[in-house]
Chain A
């Protein structure tokens, strides 16, 4: 991926990649159908989704009070809490913890927030070796690639791609057998777990009333990074709270089902405190880093609701746009419908407001969202906000259109004229290139040629022949 190119360019690249299209097609439809089957195993699934939604909305509506309570509970449990306003702050805090604890090697379980802050680069600059331990993220790291799906980071790669990078970077004989590839990773990463000084994780949820960090992983790397190293650092966005364990239960019930189609993720780890005085394992130090990075700004804006997202990835699998262009084209950490809202929120409308147009507004994302986020409405409000950046000429044209559209006779006359102009430019029902100002429209998509007669014309004719 090359984030320096524009969104339309990245989309063109993705569309030209036939392998990517095949892989996306297979993965997203499989994950989508697994989700449906899994939700069918949940009694009163709709009610559970309502409860999960209510729990998350309550948490972000009361975020100030909850963060303070959560912090107090964490501290009384023996954890150390840090607050970071920016990605640079978060990286500096974690780098300082690494320095103070003489950390040479850090193992990481999957954390989207650390992708957001580019934590690995920061730690490596200060001399700490960082190893990703989620199998997909490990391969992403070996390839110096970026994840392309929230829960299936290497959905864009074939096992042959993976075999090649493993054999090159790890000096092992080439294989494209899935089991052998996983076994190689297990052996390599086991050594890293045993020698690591620091474990870094994200947090799927923070439970306010108990001061608990909830982590879910299928591979067990979440358990490893919170068990083997002597220091555990959890980096979390400030929005990831639920108030009670009962609410956590509702969220967990829908998270795995929506993400992978499992009833529950293999390992659900509730980290409450550093190791006890008589425990034989577990970290001696537990640090929790809260990252804002634009979240408090989003909370005051039209897209505040997106902060209730639980990062299951179901909206990616359902989205006709994601299914076609994949994750890299979105250009930043969070892809898909959720990314099209989160990225402009975290990083600003310039140039990320473009992403809000990567949607047909079909509503499939809202349909599958376990916490029923109104994603299309948020995309529309982002488009609306981005409108203030439109060129003056465009604004004048839109005003002209609005004026014309309120005058039926004028509108019909104008449309008639447009139809005859456009008819001359169409071939096989499509217009592929428009001149002048209108070229912008056809530079990234074809325009459907207008019907030879308007709907109103046709309607009038029908009425006339019916009356006869």
Chain B
């Protein structure tokens, strides 16, 4: 009997002893219920944005809310000036942000070039109001490195991509998640408290995260 068969046989025999207590999920919140509460929050996108901004502030993330695509680009121009940039492919960035970053390296660049960038510029596939999380799906033109290697990460969020909760995102975007090799939730800057429980930012990932919310 190989390892797989042996383990499965033992696990099945164990299950027959009935030693595992049964959990009572109490009154499990149904998807419908949760969707209602999500909708209640989403009924005014103003609320989602307010909540999202508040969470970002608590995480130490700068958040700029802009009302036009021009304003988004102007804001990024100011923040990115004189910095070497690693970004998603231009056609993957919203609000034609790629047009103002002609010198930016992309995932196609060599590893040392990517690792040397001072600023990572990305869009995101969703943002979660409840936790202030940015969701990036890895795929063609959306390299994982851009939100990971540079010491600073600038993320452009479209207001329509705000979701109330992680659970809502899982339900609504299940197909997108299932198509990506990797789905990452980014909630604030990289941090550790391993040394004497003292908070230190930027251990491996970016120590600074800036969010720009467009119309």
Contact = CB atoms under 8 A, between A and B. Distances in A.
Per CB-CB distance, the 7 closest pairs between chain A and chain B, nearest first, are A220-B205, A280-B107, A54-B23, A300-B14, A296-B10, A299-B14, A54-B25
B138 A47 contact: no
Interface in B127-175: 130-131, 133, 138-140, 143-145, 148, 165-167, 170-171, 174
Contact of B11 (A54, A133, A155, A238): A238
A246 B187 contact: no
Interface in B103-140: 106-108, 111-112, 115, 130-131, 133, 138-140
A292 interface: yes
B197 interface: yes
Contact of A158 (B131, B191, B196): B196
A263 interface: yes
A264 B3 contact: no
A55 B178 CA distance: 21
Interface residues of A, number: 97
Contacts of A55: 23, 25
Contacts of A221: 203-204
A189 B202 CA distance: 13
A154 interface: yes
B19 A51 contact: no
Contacts of A50: 23-26, 28
Nearest to B199: A178
A64 interface: yes
B200 A264 contact: no
A194 B170 CA distance: 32
Nearest to B166: A249
B76 interface: no
Interface of B: 2-4, 6-8, 10-15, 17, 19-29, 31, 55, 106-108, 111-112, 115, 130-131, 133, 138-140, 143-145, 148, 165-167, 170-171, 174, 177-178, 180-198, 200, 202-206
A297 B7 CA distance: 10
A275 interface: yes
Interface centre among B170, B186, B203 (most CB of A within 10 A): B203
A299 B13 CA distance: 9
B19 A299 contact: yes
Interface of A: 23, 26-27, 30-31, 44, 46-47, 50-51, 53-58, 60-64, 67-68, 83-85, 89, 133-136, 139, 152-155, 158-159, 162, 178-179, 181-182, 185-186, 189-190, 193-194, 210, 218-221, 223-224, 226-227, 238, 245-246, 248-249, 252, 260, 262-276, 278-282, 290, 292, 296-297, 299-302, 304-305, 307, 374
Nearest to B191: A218
A62 B16 CA distance: 10
Given A134-B194, A252-B166, A226 B182 contact: yes
A61 B22 contact: yes
Main DSSP-derived SS at the B contact region: loop
14 contacts: A47-B29, A50-B26, A54-B25, A57-B23, A62-B15, A67-B8, A133-B204, A152-B194, A152-B197, A220-B203, A260-B193, A267-B187, A273-B182, A290-B7
A290 to B, nearest CB: 7
Contacts of A64: 8, 11-12, 15
Nearest to B189: A266
B27 A301 contact: no
A248 B183 CA distance: 14
A63 B15 CA distance: 8
A246 B177 CA distance: 13
Contacts of A30: 197
A299 B15 contact: yes
B190 A85 contact: no
Nearest to B59: A266
B11 A282 contact: no
Contacts of B202: 182, 186
B148 to A, nearest CB: 5
A68 to B, nearest CB: 7
Contact of A227 (B7, B144, B171, B196): B144
Given A30-B197, A154-B194, A266-B190, A296 B203 contact: no
Interface centre among B17, B26, B190, B204 (most CB of A within 10 A): B204
A154 B12 CA distance: 39
Interface centre among B20, B106, B107 (most CB of A within 10 A): B20
Given A271-B182, A296-B7, A61 B15 contact: yes
A264 B133 contact: yes
